[in-house]
Homo-oligomer: A and B are copies of this chain.
Amino acid sequence: MTTETPVTLDRLDRAIVALFAGEPRIGVLEASRRLKVARGTVQARLDRLERTGVVTGWGPDISPEAIGYGVTAFVTIQIAQHSGREALTLRLEDIPEVLECWTITGSGDLWCRIVAHSNADLQRVIDLMVSEDRVVRSSTLIGLSEAIPYRTGPLVAAAAPTTA
């Protein structure tokens, strides 16, 4: 089930990722000093990490909550058999409050993460999403608290397949 050819990260790669994850504004030079390697090495590693798709971006992380979207919910949508999931996805893309969407196991099901200003506003967003014939059923779970905020640090640290 694994896709592509996985990249193997060595100790230095992981240290670089961890370092930049902790202090993103650090800069290549300072990183090389901390890690006690040549600046060119850090640069080369970062280039490789981006080229191989391990690092997909350096964009600012936005907190929806901070800009007024304090409610997070998870919506599972069941679609009428074989009806255009594509089309529905395109519609969902047009809804800004839909932050993420996966197709999942089950007959034509979609899973989405959405945000809203309030519980009342959540209703509006959900209505937007499911107001279509192809949507057979939908169920919503409201996120109460983020027990473990999204992270990849531990995963990277653990990604030591063969050697150290």
Contacts and interface: CB of A to CB of B under 8 A. Distances in A.
A148 B24 contact: no
Contact of A155 (B25, B62, B109): B62
A95 B151 CA distance: 11
Contacts of A85: 147
Interface string A141-160: 11111111111101111110
Contact of A89 (B17, B106, B148, B157): B148
Most chain B beta carbons < 10 A, residue from A2, A49, A145: A2
Interface in A35-62: 49, 52-62
A163 B92 CA distance: 26
Is chain A's interface secondary structure helix, strand, loop, or mixed overall?
Answer: mixed
A117 B17 CA distance: 20
A68 interface: yes
Contacts of A143: 102-104, 111
- Interface size class, chain A: 35 or more
Interface of A: 1-4, 6-7, 9, 17, 20-22, 24-25, 49, 52-72, 74, 76, 85, 89, 92-93, 95-106, 109-113, 115, 117-119, 141-152, 154-159, 161
A158 to B, nearest CB: 4
Contacts of A157: 96
A21 B63 CA distance: 13
B2 A67 contact: no
A55 B65 contact: no
Given A53-B66, A67-B7, A147 B110 contact: yes
